[in-house]
Amino acid sequence: MASTTLTAQNFEKTILEEDTVLVDFWAEWCGPCKRFGPVYEAASEQHPDIVFGKVDTEAEQALAAAANITSIPMLMAFRDGILVFAQAGALPAPMLEDVISKVQGLDMEAVKADVEAQRAGAAQPGS
């Protein structure tokens, strides 16, 4: 499966409706982004069960701002609608494969429990 263009109109829907979503925030003028692009595309072909999204930060400036993108390329990974990984920089293929295997290997019940615990703690003043 080739990568999918994500925009402000389909970003949230994609993140919430798909099991695993990787997102590459990039720009045409960015040298490291151009080097990472083929690596990302190759991984998308090897993992048809994962959505590989791409956000052009020039075309989607509001979306990039909402995602707090300050450096590109920026790779984010979501599982069950939860951000589980974010890292700036162009990853070589073996490192990208490592990220993918770790994201797919997450115990999402434990992740969801951690998220709930953090929300509960944040809801209590003085904690």
Residues with a catalytic annotation lie at 30, 33
A 10 A CB-CB count for 94 gives 9
Q: Is 51 helix (H, G, I), strand (E, B) or coil?
A: strand
H-run or E-run covering 53: strand 51-56
Q: Is 42 in contact with 52 (CB distance < 8 Å)?
A: no
What angle, 0 to 180 degrees and rounded to 10, lies between the N-to-C axes of helices 93-104 and 31-46? 50
Query: Which residues partner with 4 through β-bridges?
Result: 53
A 10 A CB-CB count for 75 gives 22
